[in-house]
Amino acid sequence: MASRQPLIIEVLRGPIVESQHQVMIVVVNEIGSMTQYWGNPQFLTVPRSAIKMLQALPIIESGAADKYMFDDRELAMMCSSHAGEKDHLTVLQELATKLSIPESTFVCAPHLPYNEASAHDMIRRGTKPTALCNNCAGKHIGIIATCLHLGEDPKGYDKYDHPAQKLLRRTLGEIMHFDHSKTAYGVDGCGIPTYGVPLQALAAGMASLINSKQSVSRKAASERLLRAVKAFPFYVGGSGTFVTDVIEKSQGRAIVKSGAEGVYCGVLPEKRVAFAIKAADGASRAAQVATASLLLQLGGLTETEFKALTKHTMPSVTNWKGDVVGQIRIAKPA
């Protein structure tokens, strides 16, 4: 499928189309060559948290993961946008203690857990969130650990010219075939730089995780991260999240990661394909439905699995009473 027209996701209230979202999609094979697209493959966007697996590569390639004996659960945590549940915070605290990282080292700001029950429990107990509650805390621990292993002062690891950011730019540039030192960048919600990258480059970066032609060391690092995420999907997202539920239900045949402002990236290891998705207006609800539909089309989810994940794949619109009053779906062809 090749279409310059983006995929249209429509939101219905009763039979009425209340809203529409345009979603751009790029699918590539294992060497990053484009096989399908909807919309503009060169659309420049910032990937936000959707590429955390790629940002975790230096943790392994530098030797930090071996030095500090990170297990698969901990590596999954470093690829996560965690929901702040008890088990998430336990692993993060264990990592911070093992590495002797004081909270003052983190540049990611505290926020209440995304998981509603965990947030309510914290409020009831009168406990203030710490930096570990930030959904990106695992990524930050990975960056700090890499700094410590390489003998670099982690202070200022969020700054553009810090060695940690130079390493990330170099790694991302290599796997996406796009020079991150020559593109515009902004600051992510967690405080580190996030770079403007064409959608096709994001998909190619994800394909590097399954590219058999990568170097031996990069292939080994990629396989290790894929294994970790497949084994511990709860630590990549959290209870009831789209990312965790898809990885669990597909038994790792589909590895997906969300980012803010309607970005999704994913890889299907057995099918040897990868993809990147961006909702033009930043609507996560639209990007999620598009991702679910694409997974079904590509074989990352079976029909049975797709239907079992109805709350994500075919979400309803409800009112405050919980009554179903509409749905979110891919627009039918005219």
Contact assessment for residue 14 and residue 326, using Cβ atoms and an 8 Å cutoff: yes
How confident is the model at residue 90, as a pLDDT?
A: 98
Cite the beta strand spans of the chain per DSSP E. Answer: 2-3, 7-13, 16-29, 34-38, 44-45, 185-187, 193-195, 197-198, 255-259, 263-268, 273-279, 316-318, 324-330
What are the pLDDT digits (tens) for 194-232? 999 999 999 999 999 999 899 999 999 999 999 999 999
Helix/strand/coil for 24:
strand
247, 252, 275 from 315: Cα distances, Å: 18, 22, 22
Residue 136 has pLDDT above 90, yes or no: yes
Contact assessment for residue 89 and residue 70, using Cβ atoms and an 8 Å cutoff: no
22 Cβ neighbours under 8 A, 6+ residues apart: 6, 7, 8, 9, 39, 279, 280, 281
Q: Is 68 exposed, middle or buried (0-12, 13-18, 19+ CB in 10 A)?
A: middle
How confident is the model at residue 333, as a pLDDT?
A: 58
Domains of the chain, start order: 2-330 (3.40.710)
- Looking at the chain, the number of H-run helices and the number of E-run strands are 14, 13
Q: Which of 80, 18, 28 is nearest to 49 (CA)?
A: 80
Read off the tokens for 208.
């590097």
> What's the rounded Cα separation, in Å, for the pair 91 and 84?
11
In angstroms, what is the C-alpha Rg of the chain? 19
2, 130, 141, 185, 193 from 157: Cα distances, Å: 41, 19, 11, 16, 10
> What's the rounded Cα separation, in Å, for the pair 39 and 276?
12
> What's the rounded Cα separation, in Å, for the pair 3 and 228?
35
What are the pLDDT digits (tens) for 274-287? 999 999 999 999 99
What are the pLDDT digits (tens) for 19-63? 999 999 999 999 999 999 999 999 999 999 999 999 999 999 999
Provide the pLDDT confidence category of residue 334 given band limits of 50, 70 and 90: very low
How confident is the model at residue 121, as a pLDDT?
A: 96
- Chain centroid, CA 231 distance in Å: 16
Q: Which of 174, 175, 172, 151 is nearest to 163 (CA)?
A: 151
How confident is the model at residue 3, as a pLDDT?
A: 85
